Chains A and B, each alone.
Chain A
Amino acid sequence: MKLLVPVKRVIDFNVKPRVKADGSGIDLANVKMSMNPFDEIAVEEAIRLKEKGAASEIVAVSIGPAKAQETLRTALAMGADRAILVVTDVEVEPLAVAKILARIAEEEQPGMIILGKQAIDDDSNQTGQMLAALLGWAQGTFASKVEVEGESVNVTREVDGGLETLRLRLPAVVTTDLRLNEPRYASLPNIMKARSKPMAQKTPEDYGVDVAPRLTTIRVVEPPKRTAGVKVGSVDELIDKLRETGVVG
């Protein structure tokens, strides 16, 4: 079974995002960028499935600026076999990303597509579900466990009440939650080896997908700031302050 793993280049999760003074968005100039952490988990899961013999080939895909090839090289260094870079300087919305991925899936015929449940920049949490809808496939979102069993996959999902397990007919789309696995670091030899792994370059036009945005961002502002309050010196003082709130009797 072939696995398709879409990955997104986003602001590094350790960087505090700064809103641009003109309110047009987030300042990403000279900011450290990395693979979306949930997508790293997706790459890791694909590699583990291959190591277990449940998968034969891993194809990583990224849609974004030319620099997204760095993100793909990271996926290749971790263990993906080849990559497809769909280059565009437009900020592609989840719906258009899903359409491009659906076209790639039609060409590549993967048995499973594994991707992060959300990207930590726009926090949309949409692409996997949209992709499954466009392909008419089953979806296992927010996965904390993935077990392939013949023609189906059992996905344990992190839901509001706890955990839920679904059986999905393959091919299927799986989106990863935090506790699915702990992604490996790429070793230096593997980083070197990744440089010679194949990476195809495409454009959204190659797939006939219109990436014109449906949403217009009118402005981006900082949320209201909380300011630090008081520090108390003892539990008794804390209890007095708590009683002042009126919530604690």
Chain B
Amino acid sequence: MKTLVLVEHEEGQLKDATLAAVTAASRLGDVHLLVAGSGVGAIAEQAAKIAGVGKVHVADDEAYAHQLAENVAPLIAGLMDHHDAFLAPSTTTGKNVAPRVAALLDVMQISDILSVEGEDTFTRPIYAGNAVATVRSSDAKKVITVRGTAFEKASREGGSAEIEQVGGSGDKGLSSFVGQEVAHSERPELTSASIIVSGGRALGSSEQFHSFIDPLADKLGAAVGASRAAVDAGYAPNDYQVGQTGKIVAPELYIAIGISGAIQHLAGMKDSKTIVAINKDEDAPIFQVADIGLVGDLFKIVPELTGKL
């Protein structure tokens, strides 16, 4: 089987989410990559080095600069004449583009796969991860998004794939990029960090969120996450949100501070290796999944912890 994987990239860097999708694709067959963007020669070079990749297709055009689904999906659909499966990471980019590709190909997408059980059989989470379904696709071509935490990352070194320029239909004129508000942080990225310090509504304000959570995260070299409640309350920006509809994370260590543990939040972090919960309510559901729990006032515990580490 020949697979095509969409490369996720940002500001000249190939993102880790791509590497998990490459691993999933390699379970199905030969792996080809697609780099779509504007001025993406360096990304194509990085992509060609990924272990196990056979070919890198590069579509370098201003129309693909912001990964607009209206422009990128027809490009991918065209390339699928020569591929049997399309895989994208379950990132906001992948989730935006892949279903549009699936509909153009008249294929029912398999979202957010956790494993490859066979060439047409996959597992995927449903009901906020409260159940795992094994599904078999009867479509001739497959369109798949891949949960990044469920697959090992392919190595960024060791490959020497051929790079081929491809052309697409360019700008469809349906949509255009206006602007973005992207936070630049020195901290590791949430979805690939090995330690995450996450704050909930109990932090009480944006100021307290940052003055209590940030120093602990920085001491540990951790990424900062948040519950939906904390984001809704405006204590933390939306890109911090961990959960069913936010980011799915599985770090070595997840420290949940003032997070009660709604099922929607647990859905995003319950595959973490070690979970620590700090909460003043000893009956909070978070303690049912935590490996280490400490009941008490976070405003006393967190500064003490930060100071002693």
Contacts and interface: CB of A to CB of B under 8 A. Distances in A.
B109 A218 contact: no
Contacts of B133: 217, 219-220
A232 B301 CA distance: 12
A123 B111 contact: yes
Contacts of A38: 245
B295 A231 contact: yes
A123 B125 contact: yes
B288 A228 contact: yes
B57 interface: no
Binding site secondary structure of chain A: mixed
Nearest to A18: B130
A232 B292 contact: yes
Interface stretch (B39-47, B93-101, B157-165): B93-101
Interface string A150-165: 0000100111111111
Interface residues of B, number: 90
Residue among A95, A121, A140 with most chain B CB within 10 A: A95
B29 to A, nearest CB: 20
Tell me if B's interface is mostly helix, strand, loop or mixed. mixed
Interface string B90-125: 011101111111111011111110000000010001
Contacts of A141: 69, 92, 95-96
Interface string B52-95: 00000000000000101110010000000000000000011101
Given A126-B102, A230-B292, 17 more contacts: A126-B109, A129-B69, A129-B100, A134-B103, A136-B174, A139-B96, A139-B175, A159-B239, A163-B181, A163-B238, A178-B245, A179-B238, A217-B135, A220-B132, A230-B291, A232-B293, A241-B292
B287 interface: yes
Interface string B173-186: 11111111111000
Interface residues of A, number: 83
A118 B245 contact: yes
A216 B195 contact: no
**Minimum-distance CB pairs A-B, first 8:** A229-B291, A129-B99, A214-B108, A133-B103, A130-B103, A126-B99, A138-B174, A17-B127
Interface in B8-42: 10
A68 interface: no
Contact of B93 (A95, A160, A223, A236): A160
A70 interface: no
Contacts of A167: 175-178
A120 B129 CA distance: 10
Nearest to B290: A229
A29 interface: no
Contacts of B276: 238, 242
Interface of A: 11, 13, 16-17, 19, 26, 38, 93-95, 98, 117-118, 120-134, 136-142, 144, 154, 157-169, 172, 177-179, 213-223, 226, 228-239, 241-242, 245, 247-248
Contacts of B177: 164-167
Interface of B: 10, 66, 68-70, 73, 91-93, 95-104, 106-112, 121, 125-139, 173-183, 191, 194-195, 220, 228, 231-232, 237-239, 244-245, 247, 252-253, 263-264, 270, 273-276, 282, 287-295, 301, 304-305, 308-309
Given A13-B264, A217-B134, A123 B127 contact: yes
A159 B309 CA distance: 33
Contact of B128 (A123, A132, A230, A248): A123
Given A161-B180, A164-B177, A177 B245 contact: yes
Contact of A248 (B98, B127, B309): B309
A190 B308 CA distance: 58
Given A123-B125, A166-B178, A235-B301, A139 B244 contact: no
A230 B287 CA distance: 9
Nearest to B138: A214
